[in-house]
Amino acid sequence: MRLEYFEMIDSVDAFDAEKGHIEATAHVPDGSPVFEGHFPTYPIMPGVMLLETMNHASGYLMLGLNQCSKLPFFVGSKRVKIRRFVTPGQVMKVAVDLVHEGSGFCVTKGTIRVGKELIAEAEMTMMLMNFPTPELGAEVARRAA
């Protein structure tokens, strides 16, 4: 995970197109400039970055389901709950399920766990749009390969 670059997911561990399900791993780095201010002497992962981690997994799910033909663009979240702190060095397991897809939008539900402990959960909505440039579409497909 490289927080400064918003690279939240380290690996995709499972992908099931039939069930609309993905599982991923994110290793929280031991050190990051993010932790210098959040919080001095007691670093914790910002809640908004936990949501972003679930968004990234949702994006990977939708890229896989649509064979990288559409760009999943985050447009909203509901029922976001942050239940516990995440600290540097912890390993987060992210799971996301597709709830609904239609009319150019999708809704997913995600969770983050550290060990067996539920850390965060959210329902996310994404717009599935054409890539704004062919270069971006090609780069996304290259990274997904």
Model confidence over 43-71: pLDDT tens digits? 999 999 999 999 999 999 999 999 999 99
* Dihedral sign computed on CA atoms, order 10, 89, 85, 93: positive
The rounded distance, in Å, linking the Cα atoms of 113 and 139 is 30
DSSP for residue 7 = B
What gap in Å lies between CA 23 and CA 34, rounded to an integer? 25
Q: Which two tokens stand for residue 54?
A: 């679930």
pTM above 0.85, yes or no: yes
27 given a catalytic annotation: no
Instruction: Please tell me which residue in 21, 27, 38, 100 is annotated as part of the active site.
Output: 38
pLDDT in tens, 31-47: 888 888 899 899 999 99
Asked if the 3-144 domain carries CATH number 3.10.129.10, the reply is: yes
Candidates 96, 95, 100, 101; CA nearest to 114 is: 95
